[in-house]
Amino acid sequence: MPMPCTKKSLHPMQIITTPNDIQSWAIAARNQNQRIGFVPTMGYLHEGHCSLLKTARQHCDQLVLSIFVNPTQFGPNEDFDRYPKNWEGDLDRAKTCGVDIVFHPDAEGMYPTSDKPNPIEDRVHTWINALHTNGSHDLLHQLCGQFRPGHFQGVATVVAKLFDMVQPHTAYFGEKDYQQLQVIHRMVDDLHVPVEIKGCPIVREADGLAMSSRNTYLSITDRKRALCLYQAIQTAQRLITNGCTNPLRITQAAMECVQSATDRIDYVTLCDAKTLTPLHTWQAPSVLAIAAWIGTTRLIDNVIFP
């Protein structure tokens, strides 16, 4: 177990924009025995991102935040073109959280033009997509994988690239994106990637809505409707606390809450916490995972039953 590190960098925050430069920086930092902590994000930072940064800050010498809206993890009809941005606000938050390096590459740098300039997916010759769990089940095809084909392949590929560039000792991911966290765990195990992965708890607004950059898409009335996801989680928690061990009953009760205020449900599933396969009989650890639409905004949330 590495010892926690409380050393804070005295240097001002630096912005690095090219893969070569961050890699050179990382090699130099490692040569000086610096522990590198890494938080990958798509920007438009909120308190959820900050909680990852603050946790990372306590355990590393050099804290790297990446801000990159990764095109390969968005489907053709998704919100890549309108994904929210707030560069100045992000820098302020990063400084407050003690970030040393903001890595802010562009798509040309991350996916260099070679013989195939467009679309960007065609520039990737090597994808990370071997994310099988135990042969019959496959993390890629559970939960969001059914509704966002190619999404986790894009996530795993960009995270693998970022790891090679930033060379972190430890990387921090939110449990908010629970399936993403499991995919990264699986990738790191399967490929023997020498990066320790830490999951961090979901940060919620005062009324329970899970913080998300996409919450900015919600109108005031839609924001109120979005609360039904948290209400579903609370309903499931109450049932389980009261001794219910029937997955069907638990998911049905949660489903009723979500149905009451959303426009479309992708899934409300109680699943194995590691393989994400749906449960027919109760077991722990498990996760109740939800994805639903309010208008054109897709929201996800979950709760872990340890």
Q: Which residues bind ligand AMP (CB under 6 A)?
A: 41-42, 48-49, 51-52, 173-174, 176-177, 200, 202-203, 210-213
* Least separation in angstroms between CB 277 and ligand AMP: 21
* Least separation in angstroms between CB 245 and ligand AMP: 28
* Least separation in angstroms between CB 254 and ligand AMP: 19
For ligand AMP, the closer of residues 44 and 247 by Cβ is 44
Q: What are phi and psi of 54, to 5 degrees?
A: -70, -40
The residue from 49, 59, 104, 169 that is catalytic is: 49
- Nearest residue to ligand AMP, scored by beta-carbon proximity: 174
* Least separation in angstroms between CB 33 and ligand AMP: 27
Q: In what order do the strands lie in the sheet with 297-305?
A: 264-272, 286-294, 297-305
For ligand AMP, the closer of residues 173 and 217 by Cβ is 173
**Rounded CA separation 157/71 (Å):** 11
For ligand AMP, the closer of residues 67 and 270 by Cβ is 67
Q: Please give, one letter per residue, the 3-state secondary structure of the chain.
A: CCCCCCCCCCCCCEEECCHHHHHHHHHHHHHCCCCEEEEEECCCCCHHHHHHHHHHHCCCCEEEEEECCCHHHCCCCCCHHHCCCCHHHHHHHHHHCCCCEEECCCHHHHCCCCCCCCCHHHHCCCCCCCCECCCCCEHHHCCHHHHCCCHHHHHHHHHHHHHHHHCCCEEEEEHHHHHHHHHHHHHHHHCCCCCEEEEECCCECCCCCECCHHHHHCCHHHHHHHCHHHHHHHHHHHHHHCCCCCHHHHHHHHHHHHHHHCCEEEEEEEEECCCCCECCCCCCCEEEEEEEEECCEEEEEEEEEC
For ligand AMP, the closer of residues 142 and 247 by Cβ is 142
* Least separation in angstroms between CB 280 and ligand AMP: 28
* Least separation in angstroms between CB 204 and ligand AMP: 7
**Rounded CA separation 157/70 (Å):** 10
**Rounded CA separation 22/289 (Å):** 35
For ligand AMP, the closer of residues 84 and 295 by Cβ is 84
Closest C-alpha to 65, from 100, 33, 108, 96: 100
Is 49 annotated in the active site? yes
For ligand AMP, the closer of residues 45 and 247 by Cβ is 45
Residues with catalytic annotation? 49
